[in-house]
Amino acid sequence: GENVGLHLPTLSVQEGDNSIINCAYSNSASDYFIWYKQESGKGPQFIIDIRSNMDKRQGQRVTVLLNKTVKHLSLQIAATQPGDSAVYFCAEKMRSGGSNYKLTFGKGTLLTVNP
């Protein structure tokens, strides 16, 4: 089964509110995590990443929090805008044989922003 999952498959917020999207992972040895945004019919776009030696990282209007104790990852979007409506995926870097690694993606959360 998948090692990365999401608590909420859908999230609906009002424009201007803050959004929080959650993700759980099971591999305590994972050392790198990414959040992607995927708009309908398009490929995923990188939003922000975080290494396991950090517990918080901020970008433009986005913040990723990593809680290694409970193996939980969250993406916070400040002042959510209609353009933020998309599916958001978390991904975890895992070993894939020998010295190779792969990203394992969660199922995704659909964020809908209401004007």
Query: Which positions touch other proteins (CB under 8 A)?
Result: 2, 32, 34, 36, 41-46, 49, 89, 93, 96-97, 100-108
Residue 56, phi then psi, degrees to nearest 5: -155, 140
- Closest to other proteins by CB, 3 vs 76, is 3
Judged by beta carbon, residue 50 or residue 77, the one nearer other proteins is 50
Q: Pick the closer one to other proteins by CB: 25 or 89.
A: 89
- Minimal distance in Å, beta carbon 107 to other proteins? 4
What is the Rg, in whole angstroms, of the alpha carbon atoms belonging to the chain? 14
Specify the residue, 67 or 96, whose C-beta has the smaller distance to other proteins.
96
Question: Pick from 76, 77, 68, 108: which is nearest to 90 by CA?
Answer: 108
